[in-house]
Amino acid sequence: MENHHDDQALRSLARAVLMPGFIGTTLPGWVAEELEAGLGSLCIYGGNIQDTGQLAALMSQIRQASPGAILALDEEGGDVTRLHYRDGSNQPGNAVLGRMDDPQLTRASARAIAREMRSYGFNLNLAPDADVNTNAQNPVIGVRSFGISPRKVAMHTAAFTVGLQGEMVAACAKHFPGHGDTSTDSHLSLPVVAVDPFTLAERELAPFTAAIQTGIAAIMTSHIMVPALDAENPATFSSAILGDLLRDELGFTGVIVTDALDMAGASAETGIPVAAVRALRAGADLLCLGTDMEREDYEQVVNAILHAVREGTLDPQRLRDAAARNTALATHYRVQDRACEPCELVTGDWSQAFETSAEVAGWISDPAEVQLVQVDTDSNMAVGHVPWGLSSVASTAAPEDLRPGAKVLLAARALSETHAVHTLAAQLRQAGHRVLVVNFGWPAPGADITTYGASPVLARTVMEMLQIPAEQKC
């Protein structure tokens, strides 16, 4: 690029492929300037949302700066929510929907999410999670998945996609080519999916194939190694996976979105600017840069892209193709003014999705006073710090404050053999309390009730099932 005009044109193309986040609950000046100059997309995270009024004002300001931008949100429903980051999701979540196995219910949940998103001005949902959760110890997928059956996950991925896009919110299936069979979290490291090509095609790829056949607008890459496809590069940086497989073999023509490039699986060794160029070169179109970006961080990414084009390591046509796909998505899903809609609950007897032990009936019939206890459990970074379980719908007590003779409903999530809930349950039983352990998550030994999710919707269902009054929140 030899002159100023060419430099500006190239910078415009770079802006069109970027989706940064930002710090705070008000729009930073530099983000407003970039939106006005053609920044293609913005991603809103939980830390950007304080309450409904603040979010409406923020989104109005963003839309004024750029009416045609792609505004994205991670709103899977259930454990992963951004719209309800302060109070917990009003939807049951994928694992419960998979257990219910009613595609109409799944579409209804997605429609409700889409309507709420559109009311604020969002037009891209980084959902559904299309991973087949075949590893029970998966630390980052779990209840975000529709289940362990490729057929079921494929059917509900398609239904969720139809629900979102029928309300004019673009769907984005993730995490291609499949993050379900991992035992590590790509936020923290680089997982490996060591499966043969046949298993991959029949299991991991089935939901993405269904999504493509449904006409999904976008697919998100994963920061995982799949040696059967590419022994050297994680999926996000693999032209064999994004080009040969996703584009050529599966026939996907929509937008390829990267998972957040600030994750360790993507940029721990190289930094975000290098990761951005690698992803573009491999075939990604829209680069999710991650949370908490400052102007300097963003400019480093832009400059890395410009430098790569100038030195010949990134084909400018690749950049033009990516920008064109993003523009086409933004145009098709352009947001129209719409009044804010109230919180919409999808009705269903979610208890049908639960697993329960024989102890439940006896606990219900015991006339003793009920007290609730919740064991704090760290969540993964995808979930963040969202209210969950019993404490999201009712007051809970500390174990040392329990009254003698009370029967105890003891809540936990992310259960494992060494989870603190097992020791606490034994201690409480020894002290004379009748105890039920509720696992607000994926099945694991030691639970009397397993809910397949931790949202307030499911907590209320547990309490209704056990005939305990609960506060109603929406």
Class (C level, CATH) for 4-332: alpha beta
* Residue 289 burial (CB count, 10 A): 25
End-to-end CA distance of the chain: 54
Q: What are the per-10-residue average pLDDT scores of the chain (474 residues)?
A: 70 97 96 97 96 96 96 96 94 97 97 96 98 85 95 98 98 93 66 89 96 98 93 96 98 96 79 96 97 94 97 96 98 77 72 97 96 86 89 95 96 92 97 97 95 96 90 41
Q: Are 128 and 157 in contact (CB under 8 A)?
A: yes
pLDDT for 181 equals 77
Q: Are 309 and 319 in contact (CB under 8 A)?
A: yes
pLDDT for 270 equals 82
Return the HEC string of 217-234. CEEEECCCEECCCECCCC
pLDDT for 458 equals 97
* Residue 331 burial (CB count, 10 A): 9
pLDDT for 186 equals 58
pLDDT for 211 equals 98
pLDDT for 324 equals 98
* Residue 99 burial (CB count, 10 A): 21
pLDDT for 471 equals 54
Amino acid at 274: V
Residues with catalytic function: 187, 259
The pTM for the full model equals 0.94
Residue labelled with tokens 């998103």: 117
pLDDT for 337 equals 63
pLDDT for 420 equals 94
pLDDT for 382 equals 81
